[in-house]
Amino acid sequence: MSLLDDNNAQGELYLTDLLGIAASQGEAGSVCVAEDWLELQGVNTRAQCASATDTLRRRVVEHWMNEGVSFEQPEQTWVETSVRLHSDVTIGAGVELRGCTDVHSGAVIRRGSVLEDVRVEAGALVKPYTVAQDAVIGEQAQVGPFTHLRPGSHLESKTKVGNFVETKKARLRVGAKASHLSYLGDCDIGAASNIGAGTITCNYDGKNKFQTVLGKGVFIGSDTQLVAPVTLGDGAYVGAGTTVTEDVPPGALAISRTEQRNIEGWVARKKSKSESS
């Protein structure tokens, strides 16, 4: 090995040069037959690299199938070697499992989802096209479709995070729900609380991040803004369209929208004015 040099166009060390070196020194050679020729395939082009990568991908998937994991379309699934899967897990087509992702028995990961460093606990359902990183999805929780779990998201058991919901450093406690169209950042959502569509936690003032805390059984109406730091007590209700800037006591209703006004005949007068101008 010490006689190898990189005096070539690529500036690389070639193990195959050892044969010529040994022969020039009168050394006897022998042949070793590999059990699988793929172990010795060269990787000198991008096409060859892709081929070797696909070989590794296929072997990893086959290993997990032999361990009791179901793949709906094995040829379209990517599982890194650092990933851990348990028996009776189901993996859909086009799924990517990366890093230290750990998927427990009975969990289902549907089509197109990408998970990196995520723990998926028993019986959880990850619906199509969910993207998650450095997160926990609890037992029998449901996530997706089209959900984004950013680092620090922790969904406890039987929680639900639905389509077009983004979370970051958010903990949803047992049975909490955010079914659609919300941003939940730097927050702790109490057990059995319900987050209405269009709700956002306003956690950033341009310089610092602040925490939003909801107690148990809190109900947040649609299109609500929770301006952190703010705390809502157990059982509190927030009316749709409210901007919450102060703490809400347990069992209280918070509502900040203006009273509705109906102006009779306004449309006809506007049209008449437009036609005459």
The per-residue pLDDT for 256 is 94
Q: Is 101 helix (H, G, I), strand (E, B) or coil?
A: coil
Q: Which residues are catalytic?
A: 180
* pLDDT interval class at 92 (50, 70, 90): very high
* pLDDT at position 255 over 90: yes
The per-residue pLDDT for 37 is 75
Q: How far apart are CA 166 and CA 149, in angstroms?
A: 6
Q: How far apart are CA 9 and CA 271, in angstroms?
A: 79
Q: Is 95 helix (H, G, I), strand (E, B) or coil?
A: coil
The per-residue pLDDT for 8 is 83
Residue with tokens 């437009």: 274
Could you report the per-residue pLDDT of 11-45, keeping only the tens digit for each?
Answer: 888 878 888 888 888 887 777 787 777 777 778 88
The per-residue pLDDT for 147 is 99
Q: How many CB atoms lie within 10 A of CB 16?
A: 7
Q: How far apart are CA 233 and CA 60, in angstroms?
A: 48
Could you report the per-residue pLDDT of 131-140, keeping only the tens digit for each?
Answer: 999 999 999 9
Could you report the per-residue pLDDT of 188-231, keeping only the tens digit for each?
Answer: 999 999 999 999 999 999 999 999 999 999 999 999 999 999 99
Return the bridge partners of 182, or none: 165
Return the bridge partners of 114, or none: 96, 131
- Among 100, 103, 82, 136, smallest CA distance to 92 is for 103
Q: How far apart are CA 163 and CA 166, in angstroms?
A: 9
Could you report the per-residue pLDDT of 133-191, keeping only the tens digit for each?
Answer: 999 999 999 999 999 999 999 999 999 999 999 999 999 999 999 999 999 999 999 99
The per-residue pLDDT for 249 is 98
Ordered domains of the chain (ranges, CATH): 71-258 (2.160.10.10)
Single-letter amino acid, residue 256: S
Average pLDDT of the chain, as a whole number: 94
Token pair listed for 230? 């703010």
- Among 97, 144, 92, smallest CA distance to 116 is for 97
User: Which pTM does this prediction carry?
Assistant: 0.86
